[in-house]
Amino acid sequence: MENISYTVSDIQHIVDAQRTFFRTGATLDVKWRLRQLRRLRDAVIANDKAFEEALYADLGRSATEAYLCDIGPIVVEINEMLRGLRRWARPEKHFSGLMCFPSLVTKVYKMPYGVTLVISPFNFPILLTLGVVAASICGGNTVVIKASAKSQHCTEALKKFIAEVFPPEFVTLIDGGHDVADMCLEQRWDKIFYTGSPKVGKHVLAKAAENLTPVALELGGETGNWCIVRKDADIKDAARKIAFFKLCNAGQICININQVAVAQEIADEFIEALKDAFRSQIGENAQDNEEYPKLITTQAYNQCSSIADEYRERIVFGGKGNAGKLRYSPTVIYPVDINESIVQKELFCPLLPIVPFMDSNVGAVLDVIAEREHPLAMYLFTKDIKWAERVMRSHQYGGGCINEVCVHMMVKGVPFGGVGHSGMGAYHGEWGFREFTHASTVLKGSTRLNLSLREHPYCEKKVLPLLRFLEK
């Protein structure tokens, strides 16, 4: 598809057209929204091969991983919306209360924000574009998508897809680099949803603040997501799951494990189990395996390779790259101190630092995690479920798992989102509907039986006792 060079005027025209369409009231009709969601779902299914090819071209994804991580979850997500939207959108009815007499009924309407901007990332370019678009449509909004310039093939496929499925006054996609993204952010939106890095998230939030635009941010966390493996954990099970997750998309996942804290008592056994798991799942030379995903750009590859070279003497597995294919093998670095720089930043690549600790001192590890920026995900491996649940109830993070990795985000009916530097807001299913709607409270008054108690002049001896009685 031919690339278009956008101007501020072009983007303003797009926003104006969508605002005009929104004001027709077409998107308020729930039946109309359901038709658009069905159209989106059916089109995703019909275009799955095109999306698989684009994901392979950009990220080296196999067809299985492309469907598992990008395409399939969209279909599941939309099906949940189709089943639940009528219920979610139904106005809530409340008794107004005696303080509001003679009013008896107050309703809460779930109102769309209006014209929304969705800025999507490169790492899951199909899922994290169309999944968010579906939530916005579910809420009754129009959508302008600013797709990633890094995942060029997916952006091209998405632009063609969107143009064929929806009219531009309802949903449209804008491509281009950071300059185009900044042009978009200069516009007045009714809601912005951004997925990406905390650094850019701050910029998006600052630009949105100029118009007091509500924002949802899905970020990765500046100091990364922790996984803790206690000495009583099932070592082989933990290693198998951690290896699977680190291989997925070559570590380019916002909820991926950034570093593993392993009890010193089992560290050697765990590392051997982890090596075996990597060998079993991808082989000794993953960088040459066509099924293994690649890093998104030469810059990302070079950054990964550079960090690995800094820790070359402590690499116990992997550390091999294929620059021509942009593949870097899963790389285990051990031992790493909890205060080293590599565990104080989001890596977003297949490097995996291992931080040993004495199991009796796990509280100190948790203290360090709590002092740093809140992660998007946290994972605990242990047989002490009561301890694990206490940790999960008392720490700040987006979401996580006990004795499992990543699949918490696939559970129906639960929110996905971060906190602090890992984001704000949440979506998936009904939570996505909530994120893209504003709850408007409307009291239905009465023209009869209105008491004069709230009006001047006050008779305090009579009014105050009655008001205090009504508070009960």
Q: Which tens digits make up the pLDDT trace of 97-129? A: 877 888 999 999 999 999 999 999 999 999 999
- The stretch 243-247 carries a mean pLDDT of 98
Which H or E run includes 210?
none
End-to-end CA distance of the chain: 66
- Give the catalytic positions in this structure: 218, 254
Instruction: From 23, 20, 32, 46, select the one nearest 138 (Cα to Cα).
Output: 32
pLDDT single digits (tens) 146-192: 999 999 999 999 999 999 999 999 999 999 999 999 999 999 999 99
For a pLDDT cut of 70, what percent of the chain falls above it?
A: 97
pLDDT at 470: 64
Q: Residues 391-427: pLDDT tens digits?
A: 999 999 999 999 999 999 999 999 999 999 999 999 9
Q: Which of 292, 223, 252, 273 is nearest to 381 (CA)?
A: 273
Separation between Cα atoms, residue 330 and residue 318, nearest integer Å: 6
The predicted model gives 373-382 an average pLDDT of 97
Q: Which two tokens stand for residue 160?
A: 């063609």
pTM for the structure as a whole: 0.95
Q: What SS3 state is found at 229?
A: strand
pLDDT of residue 356: 98
Residue 430 has pLDDT above 90, yes or no: yes
Q: Measure the CA–CA gap between 200 and 203, rounded to whole angstroms.
A: 5
Query: Is pLDDT above 90 for 456?
Result: no
Distance CA 59, CA 103 (A): 59
> 137 φ, ψ to 5°?
-60, -45
Helix, strand, or coil here: 8? Answer: helix
Average pLDDT, the chain: 95
- Enumerate the β-bridge partners of residue 174: 146
CA 317/CA 328 separation, integer angstroms: 12
Beta bridge partner(s), residue 380:
228, 402
Burial class from Cβ neighbours inside 10 Å (0-12, 13-18, 19+) for residue 26 reads middle
Question: Across-strand partners of 402?
Answer: 380
| Lookup: tokens for 25 | 């009231």
Least confident range of 102-111, 203-212, 383-392, 447-456: 447-456
Q: Which of 57-61, 256-260, 412-416, 465-469 has the lowest mean pLDDT?
A: 465-469
73 confidence band (pLDDT: 50, 70, 90): very high
3-state secondary structure of 237: helix
Tell me what pLDDT residue 472 has: 63
Among candidates 87, 66, 68, 85, which has minimal Cα distance to 76?
68
CA-based angle 386:388:389, to the nearest 5?
A: 65
Find the mean pLDDT for residues 245-254: 97
**SS3 (DSSP) at 147:** coil
CB atoms within 10 A of CB 335: 15
- Give residue 460's pLDDT: 65
The number of residues in the chain equals 472
Q: What is the pLDDT of residue 231?
A: 98
Average pLDDT over residues 317-327: 98
Element (H, E) at 289: none
How far is residue 250's CA from residue 466's CA, in Å, rounded to a whole number? 67
